Structure 1
Amino acid sequence: MWTESTLAVALTFALLLLALAIRARVSLLAARDRVALAERLAAARGRCLSLAAQELRGPGLALMAQAADVPLDPAGQAREGNQIEAVAQQLLRLADDLADFATEPCPRALHETPALLGPVIDAAVANVAAQLRPGSRHWKIEPELRALKVRADSRALEGALAALLRRAARHSRDGDVVALRHMLGSETVAIVVEDEGDGLPAQDLITESASAGPGLGVNASNGTRGLDLGLTLARSLAAAHGGEIRLESAPGIGARAWLTLPRSRLLDAA
């Protein structure tokens, strides 16, 4: 038979459990509200960046057309036209970066599956090649790289590769070679993107600031092309896979980008 003291203890315990349940429910609802707010803010950010990209493309394309109509100077050179074209290309590059950055979800959730790198690379190359027209690059892809299979979100991996390929295309001239190969380490597997880069002056190479982190193999004193939001997106995608992106550049010679993933993500080759 229950005594009054036992009933009091039981009632107190029940009230405590009820209070904890209510508190947990309130915390859960607050967390859901924060997630929903973050998603709405991310969507609004994406819309704003997409609109900004569209606004930049108009002047960029107009300047490109204007550059083609500028007459040659007395020496038969197109210096003024080349300067206008350079500004137009900068606007179009920034528009591309803004469009890429606008598509990045926050937070990023990976949908990992076994992914053969051949189709992922082909999709990234096709994406970048379509943006280069009427220009082109010779894409030299190592057969062994195409045969590798990794555990990854193929769409996210394609996005990171496309950003690096787009960067390589910007560093090189029409008809230059952009090579893709792989490097295996004891703890990592890397996709390496190399471009010739002979068509760009040293001060115009994209370099990373010291704040981007050590070991990037670049010199921040050589100048910059701006925000390079596409590279920021690529780093985010690589980090979501537990990897990283490193850059190396040699003025007048070429540039190299490393997309490094944990070796544990490498599966049996196809």
Structure 2
Amino acid sequence: MHALIAFSPGPWTLAALALLVPLLAAMSALVWRSERARRSAEARAAELDSEVAAQTRHLHLCAQELHGMGLALLGQAAQPAAPEGSGRALLCLAADLQDVAARGAGPRVLRPERVDFASLLESAIDQVAVALAPGQREWSVAPELRQLGLWGDKRALRGALAQVLTRAVRHTREGDVIALRLCRAEDSFAILVEDEGAGLGAGDLGPALAQGGTRGLGLGLAVARQLMQAHEGELTIEALRGVGARAWMTLPRSRMLELSGS
């Protein structure tokens, strides 16, 4: 039968343990902080890579837009009148580039106010029509949209709507119908823009919008999507070759004001 031997640590052992335990705790905390700093640095590096990729994509889209406008100006070179439509399109592109540059400088600052959608739509159509001249489209607007009130940045919302309408115009023909209507959900609502054009887009808005057949046009729609996201909303486009396209400008229900006259 083995005898049990009791171990009684001496004073030196207790002193060593008293020093060792805090040291191990400090080393563990240091390792944990280093690991957290490493993960944070990796996340920031991935975020910067994504931002650089987005800016590069915007530059490519801008180059495509400028190429198309350059060809349009060459085609109008023989006309005696100044190509006002192309000039306005270039001004819109310059505004888009300013929006992209402003977004790179920091989060977009909105100046919210009550916005009457009817006047917003009229202004956006006038902007698109100038760039289109002398072409014409038929606009079919649901009556409740003409009574809709929004809470948001008027300039940003007008810019986003104008880009969506520009996309519809570019993919339709003379006299085609472009329809706008209001779609409601429990927590959100959407301004739906439908056309029966080619159902094609010239470029992707990015991975998030490329899913499910969603296509974009170029820099203008990329900026429009950023403007919608600044309002806690989203822009998605469903396009099908030979059928047409639907653009969903979705906003949270909190940004819908009571309809006038209701």
TM range (shorter): 0.5 to 0.7
- The verdict on how the C-alpha distance between 1:168 and 1:53 changes in structure 2, with shifts beyond 3 A counting, is closer
Please list the CA deviations of residues 147-197 of structure 1 after superposition, one character each: whole Å capped at 9, or x if unmatched.
111111111100000000000001101111111111010011100111110
Match of 2:257 in 1: 267
* Alignment RMSD: 3.6
Taking the aligned partners of 2:207 and 2:91, their CA distance within structure 1 comes to 21
Question: Cα 1:232–1:62, aligned 2, differ >3 Å: closer, same or farther?
Answer: same
SS of the aligned residue for 1:213 comes to helix
Secondary structure of 1:242's partner? coil
Contact kept, 8 Å, 2:190 with 2:249, in 1: the verdict is yes
Aligned-pair distance for 1:61? 1.3
Distance of aligned partners of 1:65 and 1:207 in 2 relative to their CA distance in 1, 3 Å threshold: closer
Residue 12 of structure 1: aligned partner: none
Partner Cα distance (2:187, 2:178) in 1 = 26
Is the 1:117–1:145 Cα contact (8 Å) retained in structure 2? Answer: yes
For residues 233-252 of structure 1, what are the structure 2 equivalents within 5 Å?
233-252=223-242
Structure 2 residues without counterparts, runs of 5 or longer:
1-57, 80-85
Q: What is the CA distance between 1:99 and its match in structure 2?
A: 2.7
In terms of Rg, which structure is larger? 2
SS in 2 for 1:206: coil
Q: In structure 1, what is the Cα distance between the partners aligned to 2:232 and 2:128?
A: 25
Aligned to 1:103: 98
* Matched letter for residue 75 of structure 2: L
> Is 2:141 the partner of 1:146?
no
How far 1:252 sits from its partner (Å)?
A: 0.8
Opposite residue 72 of structure 2, the aligned amino acid is G
Is 1:187 aligned to residue 187 of structure 2? yes
Contact 2:88 2:131 in 1 (8 A): no
Cα shift at 1:130: 1.1
Residue 122 of structure 2 corresponds to residue 125 of structure 1 = no
In 2: Cα distance, 1:210 partner to 1:265 partner: 24
What is the SS of the residue equivalent to 2:174? coil
Structure-1 residue corresponding to 2:16 = none
Structure 1 unaligned runs (5+)?
A: 1-44, 69-90
SS in 2 for 1:129: helix
In 1: Cα distance, 2:159 partner to 2:225 partner: 10
**Percent of aligned pairs with the same residue?**
40
TM-score (norm 1): 0.61
TM-score normalised according to structure 2 size: 0.63
The one-letter code matched in structure 2 to 1:259 is M
- Alignment length (residue pairs): 191
Q: Residue in 2 aligned with 1:218?
A: 213
Letter in 1 for 2:73: L
